A and B are shown apart, each in its own frame.
Chain A
Amino acid sequence: MISSWRQRLFEAADIRPLVTLRVAFGLMMVAAVVRSYWMGFVEAQYLQPDFHFNYYGWEWVKPLPAFGIHAVMALMGIAALGVALGAFYRWSCAVFLLTFSYIELLDAAYYLNHYYFVSLMAFTLLILPAHRAFSVDVKWRRVKAAGCVPFWMRALPAFWLGMVYFYAGLAKINADWLHHGLPLRMWLPAFSHWPVVGSWMTKPETALVFSWAGMLFDVSIPFLLLNKRIRPLAYLMLLAFHLLTGLMFPIGIFPVVMSISALVFFSDQFHARIWQWHGVKPAELALQHRYLFRFTHLLILFQLVWPWRYLAYPGPLFWKEEGYRFSWRVMLMEKAGTAQFYIRDPKSGKEWQVRNRDYLNDTQEKQMSFQPDLLLQFAHYLGKRHLLPDGSTPIVRAEVWVTLNGRRGQLLFSPHLNLMNLRDSFAPKSWLNPWNPNF
């Protein structure tokens, strides 16, 4: 059984689905770079703020001066175009992956699951020979054309996509989502002015239907897309789902990326219609890549296990967010906080009130105000920035009220804690208050 599976994984598969993915991904990323300038994200998120939030362990990633950031963005755009065209393909993939990940790692306040997904896809394209057909590299004879790849290579991107949906669906299996219809019950009334369906949007039942439908869609769509007969209908559902969520929520390019990436589930015949061989179809297989295959096992194992790391913490996950990121928890909760920081001189007893906006932009402030690791980082930044006249470090404390899925605000931790005495780590944050789930 297993050996036949292994055999199947190494059977020749048409390379053209990967070509579709390569071109589509590259073009979407070119568009994403242009869009980030168009929307002013580069300026507002990376150039203006004095302070950036690190990912734990990635503190060494530092922002470049403005021209450096622009250069990185330009390189990213050029590399994305290189990916699409299949020109200097491996280099293009590597440069795109590095530049994109660099920008993402600059500030944890802007963390988005779909950015992480883009990094994963970029890495996947880097290791797959998607440039062996219909590419500039083939045309310029930098590489030999190939008509086929081992089946596992063709399947890998689809696997990632399926994993994202499935894990996003699993994350929705919780009492707030399925029993209370939260947070959709809070989000849907925003559309009560829509014609015809508007009046339904304020009903709790509608939120429950949407919640269940969303969860069922997420956990089942990977399997429905695998079934040849159901696939067209499933893809229509997928389009409708992403269209609706894209219209309702500010989720940027995510619906487009997912909708187009999902084309990898389509049959070889589908992709063959887009990319037609003129003349003789190249028949050689790309290299077998046994080591790459084994490495991919590790990557898959990591991706499957990593989202469960939250189980190693006492939780609750939504309150403490230990193990929340990099786990495909998409649009899962409505959470907001108000963080009032105080800087105190222990000798004189004098205390100052911090206005967060003096140091952070609105996105940074909003994201920080309910995420413990970011709050701690900001406290340390304040402490170091506002040394006392004798050069010693002040006490930095904060009163942080967090509301989760419409519950009244609760104190995230004691406002008397000197945050300068705490260090971030992978250990459970025992200084956080327990959470009261009652409404």
Chain B
Amino acid sequence: MRGLLAGFLILWTFTLVGCTDDQQPTKSGSFDRSAMLRHYADSLIQPDFDSLHRASQQLSLQLEALSFQPDVQTLSAARIQWNSTYRLWLKASVWMFGPAETSLGSLRELTGTFPANEARIEQFIQASDTSFQNFERDTRGLFALDYLLFDRSKSDNQLIAALANPGRAAYLRALGKHFQSQVANVKQRWISYRNDFVASAGTDAGSSITQMYNAFLMSYEFSKNFRLGLPMGLRPGQQQPEPDKVEALHSKAGREGLITHLQSIHRVYSGGSGLGFDDYVLASFNGQTLFDSTSNQWARVISAMQVLPPAPLDDLVRNQQPELRSLNDALTRMTRFYKSEMASLLGLTITYSSNDGD
């Protein structure tokens, strides 16, 4: 027994001597994950869905008014409401998990698939089909409205005149109601989900933090790959830029949309004014330098956004503005901080499904 003990002491000494690193990693402290989850649920997520819900109610009313009395005022009012709803929708689109994730898809997919399928929308209008009993998500949601309210190939008067068609007016109303009901479902489900969300304070595959983190990462990569990469023609197989594949093509809100979304992504990371992932990183083993790198890179993303010329995104793409490339590079460099380093440090699994490991 004494020999055994001596053996392990030698081994222990050996490992101490064998260490070549002179720098000691920073200390990890305790971190109150439940408090963080409470903050996210009560100060960020639920308020975001509440605001979006109120906006969707307003939007539905404005669309109804427009459909019954199409004129310059009602069109303008509906457009203004669409724009503010779009911003709030982008803010909420970073929370696509739990109540916002159904078997039919996430709220983002159900209400914001782009580009909209304009030809199919026209067919549904022709057929007076407002049932939405199909899987064609690109015929409804915000970007179907983007087409009906802002169609860039038509003048305002033409758009107003077109709404004299009762089928078109009915489709517009139905889009508003459908959007509102989808948002209302999520808001409603969050009320009962909230306590479960806060109570699940672990970091395993099904835990709140892992779900929220994965939704954050997916949302981040969605902007990088689809809001930006897709129109820029960066996806394998694309022969040239495709400016018509920007989000919110007709309203020309895509540039502000991209910025709003990236700011919302940063808000998920920072937790706004309260406990967030950034504090969690700081409290984790060797977290300080990752925290610093992430902050520095975010500053680069901000400056890349600030220098984007004030023109619609599709124009920027068409002109192949180098600033877009810089923004894309800045976002690409950010990926590893958010993706592997943060997940590894916090012990989160990048997966929706449970998986065996060893």
Contact = CB atoms under 8 A, between A and B. Distances in A.
B225 A250 contact: no
B83 interface: no
Contacts of A189: 28, 30-31, 284-285, 347
Interface in A318-336: 330-331, 334-336
Given A179-B19, A250-B354, A403-B344, 20 more contacts: A41-B355, A112-B358, A173-B11, A193-B202, A216-B8, A251-B358, A252-B357, A334-B347, A338-B336, A343-B236, A352-B234, A353-B229, A362-B350, A362-B353, A369-B340, A382-B236, A386-B237, A406-B286, A408-B286, A408-B289
Interface in A159-216: 173-175, 178-180, 182, 185-187, 189-193, 199, 202, 204, 216
Interface of A: 39-41, 44, 112-114, 173-175, 178-180, 182, 185-187, 189-193, 199, 202, 204, 216, 249-254, 330-331, 334-338, 340, 343, 352-355, 362-363, 365-366, 369-370, 382, 386, 401-403, 406-409, 437-439
Interface of B: 8, 11-12, 15-16, 18-25, 27-31, 33-34, 201-205, 221, 225, 229, 234-238, 284-286, 289-290, 293, 328, 332, 335-336, 339-341, 343-345, 347, 349-358
B284 A40 contact: no
Given A199-B30, A340-B332, A402-B340, A180 B234 contact: no
A17 to B, nearest CB: 26
Which of B238, B351, B356 has its CB near the most chain A CB atoms (within 10 A)? B356
16 contacts: A185-B28, A189-B31, A192-B33, A202-B28, A250-B349, A251-B356, A336-B343, A337-B340, A338-B341, A340-B335, A352-B237, A352-B238, A355-B225, A355-B235, A363-B355, A403-B340
B352 A438 contact: no
Which of A185, A193, A204 has its CB near the most chain B CB atoms (within 10 A)? A193
A190 B280 CA distance: 11
Given A192-B30, A202-B30, A336-B341, A250 B205 contact: yes
Contacts of A182: 285
A185 B285 contact: yes
A180 B19 CA distance: 10
A426 to B, nearest CB: 24
Contact of B15 (A112, A178, A370, A439): A178
B75 to A, nearest CB: 38
A399 to B, nearest CB: 8
Contacts of B343: 336
B71 to A, nearest CB: 45
B25 A363 contact: no
Which of A189, A337, A362 has its CB near the most chain B CB atoms (within 10 A)? A189
Contacts of B18: 175, 179
A254 B356 CA distance: 9
A187 B285 CA distance: 10
B197 to A, nearest CB: 14
A254 B355 CA distance: 13
Contacts of B285: 182, 185-186, 189, 406
Contacts of A179: 15-16, 18-19
Which of B30, B33, B285 has its CB near the most chain A CB atoms (within 10 A)? B285
A193 B340 contact: no
B141 to A, nearest CB: 23
Contacts of A335: 344
Q: Which 4 A-B pairs have the closest CB atoms?
A: A252-B356, A338-B336, A336-B340, A439-B25
A340 B353 CA distance: 23
A193 B336 contact: no
A216 B12 CA distance: 12
Which of A114, A204, A338 has its CB near the most chain B CB atoms (within 10 A)? A338
A352 B340 contact: no
A407 B286 contact: yes
A338 B343 CA distance: 11
Contact of B335 (A338, A365, A408): A338
